[in-house]
Chain A
Amino acid sequence: MYVAVKGGERAIENAHRLLAHERRGDRDVADISLAQISEQLALGVDRVMSEGSLYDRELAALAIKQARGDMIEAIFLVRAFRATLPRFGATEPLDTGTMLVRRRVSSTFKDIPGGQILGPTFDYTHRLLDPELAEGFVPELPAAAEPAAAAAPRVTDILGRDGLIEPSPTADPEAAVGDLTRDPLGFPAARDLRLQNLARADEGFLLALGYSTQRGYGRNHPFAGEIRFGEVEVGFFAEEVGFAVPLGEISLTECQMVNQFKGSATEAPCFTRGYGLAFGQSERKAMSMALVDRALRARELGEEVLAPAQDEEFVMSHSDNVQATGFVEHLKLPHYVDFQSELGLLRRLREEFAAAQTAPPLREAAE
């Protein structure tokens, strides 16, 4: 008797219904609101916005809720929505030097104009589980002070004035900004596309690659020149009025790594740069990105490409977690047609092997 092995429409519908039920969990427990996710799981929302390439806290919170807290699934939901949005154009380049800084640290100078600002950070917390947090905890209000009068100049700009660090390449205002979601990626890829790829890349993948450069696989002697987190205004050049109009503010984390020297017979040695940028407060992501960006500049800086983190095709082709999870997980789709042909071939090879074993042995060659 032939058993029904094929799936069915009803099976899919029932599976979706069951999923919705499981997502809700115990119905006696209050439904979680998007505001709760956005406010209290803020760093998760930041990650979904960064890797989803869409700055929208509410949609990111919805995606996290819909994905039952699975971050890659949430990123996928945001990406799929983003793909359907029309493009009005590109904003003016952001000036992170004008950032309203909420946190800013440099590991290269003890004190810097604008000061070191610890801000909200896990860095010096002791990782002891806090039972008080379990329910109804009301924290003290934070200490407040007048905001700093002067903007904080970027540490790399301070180094740059003396020529101690290579200048940032200046953008050609007429040149279109590369966009790997609108044009197919080719290799070798320019740095704008590399940075876009890294900004969308999986945090864990970048973390591991960045870590590998620290352990000697493409070492580039990094110092965290500066990490800053805060709000930056976004400007959009409107043809109708003839100047850039502010669209609003976004929260960003920027990391500027200061890396080993480069120099030649004709050029004085200077530090080199690695750059990381992420939506919201995403320091691990921004720092890992800066390490990998620097590693990927190996060819440009005349270094030998030996380590995985320096290999542009390897990094850029495998950094996207939505692509990676899709292809890994597609192995659970039926493959029985291919498997059948492998099975057929294997059986034939085994038959031939068995026949050869039982056949009289060939006479050995004369010694």
Chain B
Amino acid sequence: MSGPVYNFAYLDEQTKRMIRRAILKAIAIPGYQVPFASREMPMPYGWGTGGVQVTAALLGADDVLKVIDQGSDDTTNAISIRKFFARTAGVATTTISTEATVIQTRHRIPETPLHAGQVLVYQVPIPEPLRFLEPRETETRRMHALAEYGLMHVKLYEDIARFGHIATSYAYPVKVNARYVMDPSPTPKFDNPKMDNCPALQLFGAGREKRIYAIPPYTSVVSLDFEDHPFSRYRFDAPCALCGAEDAYLDEIVTDDKGSRMFVCSDTDYCESRQAAGHRGSESAAPHKEGAHG
């Protein structure tokens, strides 16, 4: 039995062309979900097969790739995907947001503002923002075609009536380019404002659901809200315990079984570069670099 030989960045060139055509269409119609013939990838559905296919179609030999999961470069799945492309495409990888040309992400947008020329690739589980209101694809496609988004506003209104707030804290729906309501993938709503008028290209890949969508650079992205209940970011009460950042999304770390907790940046690159620049938090004596990788 002879071992199979795989193409640059794993996918064959025909498949990449098919994906690139879907990406181009997605860029031309911001926020619209373009169906594409998603392939079975060598990692399971739900592990980021959509993002991986988009990244595979984008990568060139001189690209620099960063992969994050939950904001971190060294979560197991981020490492696994980064290694996959390091092996199959031989591209340079980095953990530094500003150095990367392509950043694949699951559940976060980096804290460091993205710049023109960068591409942010999101892994998307359920691309359809209306799915939990209407399970049928035939119906939701019609609703998008007619820009019939009343149902979504009713849902948000019902949240306010019941809880006093819009009770969606992640995957918070947005309207792109004043036309399509779009699911930003399960990023916390804290990240939503970063999508608006962003200089980088934002691409969204949903492998199992076979959809690609996009936000071209400098496109308006508005989180859905009401005049008397405007969109608000989730605020943390404490600064990052390691770098003192007050403007970053934080992970809550349970430190013992007696209810002690600390809050640290979820974006590890942001936190580490702030610490390197001399910023300190309440727990700074214990830098959390892991020695195993590099």
Residues of A within 8 A of B (CB): 1-12, 58, 62, 76, 79-84, 86, 181-188, 313, 317, 322-323, 325-331, 333-338, 340-345, 348-349, 352
Contact assessment for A82 and B40 in the assembled complex, using a CB-CB cutoff below 8 Å: yes
Expressed in whole angstroms, the Cα–Cα distance for A10 and B268 within the complex equals 19
Q: Interface size for chain B: under 10, 10 to 19, 20 to 34, or 35 or more residues?
A: 35 or more
CA distance A330 to B163 in the complex (A): 30
Asked if A333 and B69 make an inter-chain contact with CB atoms under 8 angstroms apart, the answer reads: yes
Give chain A residues whose Cβ lies under 8 Å from the Cβ of B70: 334-337
User: Do A345 and B167 touch (CB < 8 A)?
Assistant: yes
Distance, CA A3 to CA B69, complexed state (A): 19
* Chain B residue nearest to A52 in the complex (CB): B40
Interface contact A349-B208, CB-CB below 8 Å: no
Closest to A1 in B: B286
Q: What's the Cα separation between A187 and B35 when bound, in Å?
A: 12
Among candidates B35, B125, B266, B268, residue contacting A327 with C-beta atoms closer than 8 Å = B125
Residue among A58, A83, A336 making CB contact with B41, cutoff 8 Å: A83
Nearest CB on A from B162, distance (A): 10
Most A-side CB within 10 Å, residue of B6, B44, B125:
B44
Question: Do the beta carbons of A341 and B190 come within 8 Å of each other?
Answer: yes
List B4-24 residues whose CB lies under 8 Å from chain A.
Answer: 4, 6, 10, 12
State whether A313 and B234 are in contact (beta carbons under 8 Å apart), knowing that A1-B283, A337-B70 are contacts in the complex: no
Return 29 A-B CB contacts under 8 Å, by A number. Answer: A4-B290, A7-B79, A8-B293, A9-B79, A10-B293, A62-B1, A76-B40, A83-B39, A83-B41, A183-B37, A184-B38, A186-B35, A187-B137, A187-B138, A323-B45, A325-B44, A326-B47, A326-B49, A329-B46, A334-B70, A335-B70, A337-B71, A337-B186, A337-B249, A338-B107, A341-B189, A349-B163, A349-B167, A352-B164
Q: Which residues of B approach A to under 8 Å, CB–CB?
A: 1, 4, 6, 10, 12, 35-42, 44-47, 49, 69-72, 74-77, 79-80, 83, 106-108, 125, 135-138, 163-165, 167, 169-171, 186-190, 208, 210, 234, 236, 241-242, 249-253, 255, 262, 264, 266, 268, 283, 286, 288, 290, 292-293
Partner of B138, one of A313, A326, A337: A313
Residue contact A343 to B251, C-beta cutoff 8 Å: no
Compute how far the CA of A11 lies from the CA of B79 in the bound complex, rounded to whole angstroms: 10
Within the complex, the shortest CB–CB distance from A349 to chain B, in Å, comes to: 6
Instruction: Establish whether residues A9 and B83, one from each chain, have CB atoms under 8 Å apart when the complex forms.
Output: yes
The listed residue (B41, B74, B135, B255) touching A6 by CB distance below 8 A is: B74
Which residues from chain A contact B188 at a C-beta distance below 8 Å? Answer: 337-338, 340-341
Q: Are A181 and B251 in contact (CB under 8 A)?
A: no
Name the residue of chain A whose CB is nearest to the CB of B212.
Answer: A184
Q: Are A9 and B71 in contact (CB under 8 A)?
A: no
**B210 CB contact (under 8 Å) in A2, A10, A184:** A184
